[in-house]
């Protein structure tokens, strides 16, 4: 059973490591951020609400997000193998998850906060294949995999990034102690290249 939670500050590499995990392991990937961005694209009621919070770099209310994740987790394919990327982000969400379907591994991707700012403000996303790149590794702003123009997320602008980091310290960082106390936390050095980070995680999986 691999029921995985990836914790980490914005820009710690949760999205990139998730890509490697789902490529190499049988896991259902649940990214709350991706679900919300899809809702924004589709102009749903949830998308309209999410847009306001995301543009400011704030978290959506717990009750909405908990319901959203529990709905997805209640599908048969998630029973024994899931990868939660960006959930939980508050103690209330973590408590709800423990009651609903307790994770078997909680990996905390540890990075220096200065690195995070540089990673996020230089991050580019392909809206077609969802691949993530950094401007310093690109010759131009075209996706090397599918030739589409790459995009910068609205919430990767400097001012928003600063608020997302403040919110992380206030709301999400306390989860490190929460999972430490539950003896579930596995610390991962996430400063290296994604393949090294992935290998550290892979060792633990069944």
Q: Is-contact 34 130, C-beta < 8 A?
A: yes
Binders of ligand AMP among 138-167, rule CB under 6 A? Answer: 155, 164
> Closest approach of Cβ 29 to ligand AMP, in Å?
12
Q: Quick one: CA torsion of 8, 13, 16, 18, rounded to 10 degrees? A: -10
Tokens of 96: 């709800």
> Closest approach of Cβ 58 to ligand AMP, in Å?
6
SS3 58: coil
Options 87, 107, 178, 198; binder of ligand AMP; rule CB under 6 A: 87
Tokens of 151: 């995009």
* Catalytic position from the list 3, 37, 124, 164: 164
Report phi then psi at 167, rounded to 5: -65, -40
SS3 6: strand
Options 27, 36, 73, 197; binder of ligand AMP; rule CB under 6 A: 36
7 binds ligand AMP (CB under 6 A): no
59 binds ligand AMP (CB under 6 A): yes
* Catalytic position from the list 3, 89, 119, 124: 89
Positions marked active-site = 14, 89, 123, 153, 164
């Amino acid at each position: 059973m691999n029921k995985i939670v990836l914790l980490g500050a914005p820009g710690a590499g949760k999205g990139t490591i998730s890509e490697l995990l789902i490529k190499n392991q049988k896991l259902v990937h649940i990214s709350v951020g991706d679900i919300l961005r899809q809702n924004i694209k589709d102009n749903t009621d949830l998308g309209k609400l999410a847009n306001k919070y995301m543009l400011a770099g704030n978290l959506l209310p717990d009750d909405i997000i908990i319901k959203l994740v529990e709905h997805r987790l209640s599908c048969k394919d998630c029973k024994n193998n899931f990868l939660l990327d960006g959930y939980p982000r508050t103690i209330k969400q973590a408590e709800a998850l423990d009651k609903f379907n307790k994770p078997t591994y909680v990996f905390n991707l540890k990075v220096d906060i200065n690195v995070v700012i540089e990673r996020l403000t230089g991050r580019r996303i392909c809206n077609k294949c969802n691949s993530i790149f950094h401007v310093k590794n690109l010759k131009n702003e075209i996706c090397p995999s599918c030739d589409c123009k790459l995009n910068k997320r609205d919430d990767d602008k400097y001012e928003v990034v600063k608020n997302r980091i403040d919110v992380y310290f206030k709301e999400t960082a306390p989860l490190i102690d929460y999972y430490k106390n539950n003896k579930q936390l596995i610390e991962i050095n996430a400063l290296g290249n994604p393949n090294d980070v992935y290998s550290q995680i892979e060792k633990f999986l069944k």
